[in-house]
């Protein structure tokens, strides 16, 4: 199959939408990573996603829609808290200050999470085919904010199942070039929308149990969710490997993930100790800006030590770039603190490294 290269023009958006309506797979940019989209209500179309990615059948897909109203036919019922996640908590009174019923407070980074990088899991309706939910009785739903993703959704007029547009197990794509590296010839088209602004996949929040549970960290943080929802539990799978026989709340978390072909190890230490370890081993460094002056090995800087947003944006490009360079047989990644968006970066690195963490 010849993969069509589409760009941000009305004719190409219409082409992407018509391919999707015809049951084809099209890679579409979102603010998180590129998604491999297909009609979520068409079993044969969704099967093409699993085939192109080599994705295990029990790893469910996130369904993308335009607005909260479009979620309704896909779920048993919409809990009240979904509306709270969708609407601003209060209004901005002056720069960076909110007036809430409790008084004034600092403006959180985002007050409404829809549209945005948050997927919610809810009991599914019969409209959602089992292939989408990997056989579970729940479905993950997201309202993307990226203008091109929204234009395609609007034009296609159907909900779109869209996992990350990479080969299963490898780092997620944050530009059209990454998509083509993995998917050229396997999918109908890729819509090029430039680089993704966030760079890691959406936060996955289950609302199917008694207490909201964070299954996968992302740019919407646990701290931000607690501002709106009160108690939010963090799944043990976020920071640890599942032992054999344990069932995964989020099936995606049990697979080797986000990993380049070159093995990865994680290090957490000062710049000097990290650089010393790298110097003593045949490796390439995925490092912080602060480390570069000490390093004598090939390196890719993915942001400042505490610049978690930059790390998220550049993480997968860094892993792919080092992998392709072939300079050394090992990638030594300097891991951030697992707080805020740093938790999302740490979670991806843990899996890319197969949980190999070295204490220098």
> Least distance in Å: CB of 172 to ligand AMP?
7
* Bridge partner residues of 100 (DSSP): 103
Site pattern 143..172 for Mg ion (x: CB under 5 A): ---------------------x--------
**Span from 67-75, 84-92, 100-108, 132-140 in contact with ligand AMP (CB under 6 A):** 132-140
End-to-end CA distance of the chain: give it in Å, rounded: 48
- Residue pointed to by tokens 């380049």: 260
**Between residues 149 and 267, which has the closer beta carbon with respect to Mg ion?**
149
Question: Of all helices (H) and strands (E), which one includes residue 233?
Answer: strand 233-234
Q: Using a CB cutoff of 8 Å and minimum separation of 24, what contacts does 208-213 make? A: 208/121, 208/122, 208/123, 208/138, 212/81, 213/249
**Nearer Cβ to ligand AMP, position 123 or 298?**
123
Q: Rg of the Cα trace of the chain?
A: 20
Report which DSSP code applies to 292: G
DSSP tag of 40: T
Q: Any contact of residue 28 with ligand AMP (CB under 6 A)?
A: no
Give the footprint of ligand AMP on residues 284-343 (CB under 6 A).
none
Task: Output the smallest distance, CB 163 to Mg ion, in A.
Answer: 5
Cβ 164 to Mg ion, closest distance in Å? 3
235 binds ligand AMP, rule: CB under 6 A: no
Is 201 a binding residue for ligand AMP by CB under 6 A? The answer is: yes
Beta carbon of residue 168, minimum distance to ligand AMP (angstroms, whole number)? 8
CB 293: neighbour CB atoms within 10 A? 9
32 binds Mg ion (CB under 5 A): no
User: Which range of residues in 15-23, 133-141, 151-159, 300-308 is near ligand AMP by CB under 6 A?
Assistant: 133-141
User: Does residue 119 bind Mg ion (CB under 5 A)?
Assistant: no
Q: Which of ligand AMP, Mg ion, none does residue 120 bind to, with CB < 5 to 8 Å depending on kind? A: none
Question: Residue 262 — φ and ψ, nearest 5°?
Answer: -70, 135
Binding mask 50-89 for ligand AMP (x = CB under 6 A): ---------xxxx---------------------------
Pattern 247-286, binding to ligand AMP, x per CB under 6 A? ---xxxx---------------------------------
In whole angstroms, what is the distance from residue 315 CA to residue 324 CA?
Answer: 14
Q: What angle do CA 278, 282, 284 make, to 5 degrees?
A: 60
> Residue 298 gets which letter from DSSP?
-
Q: What's phi and psi for 286, nearest 5 deg?
A: -100, 100
Residue (of 339, 346, 337) closest to 312 by Cα position: 346
What is the Cα–Cα distance from 145 to 70, expressed in whole angstroms?
A: 15
Are 165 and 36 in contact by the 8 Å Cβ rule? The answer is yes
| Residues paired with 50 in a beta bridge | none
Tell me, residue by residue from 162 to 181, as one string, x for binding to ligand AMP by CB under 6 A and - for no binding: -xx-----------------
- Applying CB under 5 A, the residues found at the interface with Mg ion are 164
- Applying CB under 6 A, the residues found at the interface with ligand AMP are 59-62, 121, 133, 136, 138-140, 163-164, 201, 204, 215-216, 250-253
């Amino acid at each position: 199959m010849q993969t069509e290269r589409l760009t941000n023009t009305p004719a190409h958006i219409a082409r992407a939408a018509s391919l999707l309506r015809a049951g084809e797979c099209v890679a579409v940019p979102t603010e998180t990573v590129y998604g491999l989209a297909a009609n979520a209500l068409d079993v044969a179309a969704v099967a093409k996603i699993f085939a192109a990615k080599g994705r295990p059948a029990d790893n469910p897909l996130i369904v993308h829609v335009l607005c909260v109203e479009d979620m309704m036919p896909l779920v048993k019922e919409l809990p009240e808290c979904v509306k709270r996640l969708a609407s601003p908590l209060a209004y901005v009174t002056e720069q960076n200050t909110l007036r809430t019923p409790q008084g004034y407070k600092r403006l959180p980074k985002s007050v409404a999470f829809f549209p945005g990088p948050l997927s919610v899991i809810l009991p599914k309706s019969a409209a959602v085919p089992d292939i989408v939910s990997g056989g579970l009785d729940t479905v993950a739903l997201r309202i993307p904010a990226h203008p091109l993703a929204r234009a395609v959704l609007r034009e296609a007029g159907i909900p779109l199942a869209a996992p990350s547009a990479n080969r299963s197990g490898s780092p997620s794509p944050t530009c059209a070039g990454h998509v083509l590296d993995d998917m050229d010839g396997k999918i109908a088209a890729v819509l090029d929308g430039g680089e993704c602004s966030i760079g890691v996949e959406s936060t996955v929040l289950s609302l199917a149990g008694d207490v909201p549970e964070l299954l996968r960290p992302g740019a919407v943080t646990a701290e931000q969710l607690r501002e709106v929802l009160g108690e939010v539990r963090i799944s043990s799978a976020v920071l640890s490997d599942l032992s054999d026989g344990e069932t995964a709340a989020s099936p995606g978390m049990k697979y080797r993930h986000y990993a380049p072909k070159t093995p990865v190890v994680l290090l957490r230490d000062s710049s000097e100790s990290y650089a010393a370890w790298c110097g003593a081993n045949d490796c390439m460094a995925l490092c912080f800006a602060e480390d570069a002056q000490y390093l004598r090995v090939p390196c890719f800087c993915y942001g400042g030590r505490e610049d978690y947003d930059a790390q998220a944006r550049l993480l997968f490009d860094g892993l792919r770039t080092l992998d392709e360079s072939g300079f050394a047989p090992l990638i030594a990644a300097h891991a951030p603190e697992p707080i805020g968006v740093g938790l999302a970066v740490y979670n991806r690195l843990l899996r890319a490294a197969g949980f190999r963490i070295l204490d220098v």
